[in-house]
């Protein structure tokens, strides 16, 4: 089946389309779930690996996938150059299968590639794959009547309705709920995005008591 993304082409060059510095979200995640032996992370739509490599360098056990073979080759190359190991593989967010549990599952700039009929199942899957006490960190571009479609909007991408992302986590604790409007320089043409961000934690207990909070 033909890829519904231009990233395979955009990742063909030697240099890194997204650079090599980790996103701010990685520093946030390190504070929320500190690294340690056996603490597992999944990066969904890892691109060329800058965030996955950073997380591996912190000491997490990292799994990462992207639909592009060029992105995964570059992720493996960056991991090797940084002397870390990553379980990096090619997969589609719409039908990936991993028989593992994670303490952190995150994805930046990618869940808008979910097909409409795959969204509910995706959240059920990632929530089930998260260990109690673990977190999910997701962002997604949302539609606003006052913001034009970006010039590099990809074939498989879909704008989400504001707040939809948050609606999948009523049974988890919200660590951060946010909506931001910002300028993006991808493709070399500055443009505006609106993005919803959710960081939610799977509560480690079935029932919370007064004593739990007084501890
Ligand atoms: C905006 S980029 C973000 C990349 C990376 N998370 C980062 O921040 O550097 C979106 C990524 O989603 C990937 N992608 C597009 N469609 C996908 C799909 N169906 N399944 C998995 N990844 C996909 C692209 O290849 C690209 O790497």
- In order along its 215 residues, the chain shows pLDDT tens digits of 678 889 999 999 999 999 999 999 999 999 999 999 999 999 999 999 999 999 999 999 999 999 999 999 999 999 999 999 999 999 999 999 999 999 999 999 999 999 999 999 999 999 999 999 999 999 999 999 999 999 889 889 999 999 999 999 999 999 999 999 999 988 788 999 999 999 999 998 889 899 988 86
Task: Give nearest CA residue, ligand 1 atom 3.
Answer: 109
196 lines ligand 1 (CB under 6 A): no
The CB of 52 under 6 Å from ligand 1? The reply is: no
> CATH number of the domain that 44 lies in?
3.40.50.150
138 located within any domain: yes
Is residue 139, in this structure, part of any structural domain at all? yes
In a domain, 18, yes or no: no
How many angstroms separate the alpha carbon of residue 127 from the centre of ligand 1? 20
Contacts of residue 13, Cβ cutoff 8 Å, sequence gap at least 6: none
Instruction: Give the pLDDT of residue 1.
Output: 62
Pairing mode, strands 130-141 and 102-107 = parallel
d(CA 43, CA 46): 6
Q: Give the chain's end-to-end CA distance (angstroms, integer).
A: 54
**pLDDT of res. 84:** 98
Residue 136 included in any domain: yes
Q: What share of the chain is helix, strand, coil (3-state, %, to 5)?
A: 30, 25, 45
Domain enclosing residue 178, as ranges: 38-214
Number of separate domains in the chain: 1
Model-level pTM? 0.96
Q: Is residue 8 part of a domain?
A: no
Is the Cβ atom of 46 under 6 angstroms away from ligand 1? yes
Residue 107: partners with Cβ closer than 8 Å, 6 or more residues away: 43, 44, 45, 93, 137, 138, 139
Ligand 1 in contact with 109 (CB < 6 A)?
Answer: yes
The verdict on residue 60 lying in a domain is yes
CB 139 less than 6 A from any atom of ligand 1: no
3 state DSSP class of 25: helix
C-alpha 52/C-alpha 60 separation (Å) is 9
Distance 47 CA to ligand 1 centre (A): 5
Q: Residue 15: inside a domain, yes or no?
A: no
Residue 6 lies in a domain: no
């Amino acid at each position: 089946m033909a890829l519904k993304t231009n990233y395979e082409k955009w990742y063909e060059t030697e240099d890194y389309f997204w650079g090599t510095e980790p996103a701010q979200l990685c520093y946030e995640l390190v504070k929320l779930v500190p690294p340690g032996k056996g603490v597992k992370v999944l990066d969904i739509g890892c691109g060329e690996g800058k965030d996955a490599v950073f997380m591996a360098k912190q000491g997490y056990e990292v799994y990462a996938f992207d639909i592009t073979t060029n992105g995964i080759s570059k992720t493996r190359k960056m991991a090797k150059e940084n002397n870390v190991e990553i379980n990096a593989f090619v997969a589609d967010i719409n039908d990936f299968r991993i028989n593992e549990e994670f303490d952190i599952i995150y994805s930046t700039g990618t869940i808008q590639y979910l097909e409409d009929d795959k969204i509910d199942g995706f959240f059920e899957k990632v929530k089930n794959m998260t260990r109690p006490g673990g977190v999910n960190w997701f962002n997604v571009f949302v539609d606003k009547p006052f913001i034009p479609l970006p010039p590099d909007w990809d074939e498989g991408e879909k704008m989400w309705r504001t707040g939809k992302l948050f609606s999948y986590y009523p049974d988890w604790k919200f660590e951060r709920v946010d909506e931001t409007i910002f300028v993006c320089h991808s493709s070399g043409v500055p443009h505006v995005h609106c993005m919803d961000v959710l960081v939610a934690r799977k509560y480690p207990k079935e029932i919370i008591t007064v004593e739990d909070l007084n501890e």
